[in-house]
Amino acid sequence: MRILGIDPGSEITGYGLIESDGSRHSSILFGAIRTSKRRPFHERLLEIHEQLREVLAREAIDAVAVEGVFYAANVQSALKLGHARGVVLLVAAQQGLPVYEYSPLEIKSALVGYGRAEKSQVQMMVRLLLDLPEVPTPNDAADALAVAICHSHRAAREALFPQQKKPRKRR
């Protein structure tokens, strides 16, 4: 299964594509879409849309996993994050891909086994699970890879134990 993980943000949107059988994972690509604060906000959203659409058009992807909103410093930050997430969901929907959303707590639990793990612990597990020589940079790309790995673990568990609660899926 090829899973595109996305860590949405209005300034930096991280993405990471993995291939996984549920227990072994390999990194296909990762990176970040950076937008300039100097550009109007609607143009920044368009940039996120266009670059994600290019990734989705170029790569074979089975599912998209997105980090959910968890906390924002203020209302304006939360709104901007919500807009960026909306663009991510739109691009996936336009490609007809299933979307799965995970909270930071779920992601940390899936990778480290502890929902309150430090960011550095999650990043180290991403490096180890993907057998990478170093932690992926920027941090947003490492976070996106973590989201993809989280979905892989959840999908494998669901295949083994289908009677358990399914992760939230959006179409």
Give the whole-angstrom CA distance, residue 79 versus residue 89: 15
Residues 38-60: pLDDT tens digits? 999 999 999 999 999 999 999 99
Cβ-contact 88, 48 below 8 angstroms: yes
Active site residues: 7, 67, 140
Is the four-CA dihedral 114, 132, 12, 65 of positive or negative sign? negative
Which domains are present in the chain? 2-170 (3.30.420.10)
pTM, two decimals, is 0.91
Give the lowest-confidence range in 98-102, 127-131, 137-141, 156-160: 156-160
Give the whole-angstrom CA distance, residue 169 versus residue 167: 6
Q: Which of 104, 9, 3 is nearest to 51 (CA)?
A: 9
Rg (alpha carbons) of the chain, rounded to whole number = 15
Cβ-contact 87, 52 below 8 angstroms: yes
Residues 114-155: pLDDT tens digits? 888 899 999 999 999 999 999 999 999 999 999 999 999 998
E strand or H helix that includes residue 140: helix 139-160
